[in-house]
Amino acid sequence: MFAASAFTVVTALNSQPVVFSVQASADTFLSTYYADEPQGSGNTLWVTNQDGQLNWTLLLFNVAGKMRPGDLVTEARVQLTVVAASGSGFPATIVTGRLLTSWNEQTATFETKPLMAFDTRTATLVKNPPAFGDTIWIDITKQLNRWHIFGGPSNFGTVMQISNDVNDVSIGFGSREDRTQETVVPRIQVKYTPGPKSLYGYGVDLNLGLVELAAAVRFD
């Protein structure tokens, strides 16, 4: 009974959700129209499916050190600001996948694109042509959970595409190179629940007098 109570008290200390936000550390778009030309220096990130022309946006967020093993990601959303939109194909769906190999925003092209997987696919519906300055939130909770659980060099970023069943849609988002206003830079917002602290996990807070409590627990 005492052991269970001690563990419950210690776990409860870390039950409050934590939220953090970071800007993109790399971004670019890949274009079939400019298949061998990198686009990472531009101010706009395009996602397009328009009469056979495709533009796919790549995003990378460095979240290393923001969470510990055992923390549970409950929500991860990418915040994007619209700077242009065109086409008659709305409503349209933006589909995400995860990137499996490293890439460089200054050299990546459609011809040299990194490997991709859609096992953590998410879909965001854009009902109407968005206006300049509108915010679109892209859910990548499943992707971030997978990255965090596996750890190591698995976080190579996210790819965004307009779904294949849509034609004549193009949306441009502000890139991290666009410094006309700080708010247009792509950003990820992460909400997570810290994992429990125990004798077998993270250290117990000395200021709360729980070291003595945990040390007194017997499991025999």
CA–CA dist 50, 190 (Å, integer): 32
Provide the β-strand partners of residue 30.
Answer: 56
Residue 198: per-residue pLDDT: 52
Query: Do residues 131 and 98 lie in contact, with contact meaning Cβ atoms separated by under 8 Å?
Result: no
- The per-residue pLDDT of the chain, averaged, comes to 85
Assess whether pLDDT exceeds 50 at residue 21. yes
pLDDT, one tens digit per residue, over 92-128 is 999 999 999 999 999 999 999 999 999 999 999 999 9
Residue 69: per-residue pLDDT: 87
Query: Do residues 89 and 168 lie in contact, with contact meaning Cβ atoms separated by under 8 Å?
Result: yes
How much of the chain exceeds pLDDT 90, in percent? 70
Give Cα 124 to chain centroid, integer Å: 14
Domain limits of the chain?
1-16+195-220, 17-193
CA–CA dist 15, 193 (Å, integer): 6
On the question of a cis peptide bond just before residue 186, with omega within 30 degrees of 0, the verdict is no
Could you say which DSSP state residue 150 is in?
Answer: H
Nearest of 201, 191, 184, 68 to residue 136 by alpha carbon: 184
Across 114-127, b (16+ Cβ under 10 Å) vs e yields bebeeebebebebe
pLDDT, one tens digit per residue, over 26-60 is 999 999 999 999 999 999 999 999 999 999 999 99
pLDDT, one tens digit per residue, over 195-217 is 876 545 544 333 333 333 233 33
Question: What is the pTM (predicted TM-score) of this model?
Answer: 0.82
Assess whether pLDDT exceeds 90 at residue 181. no
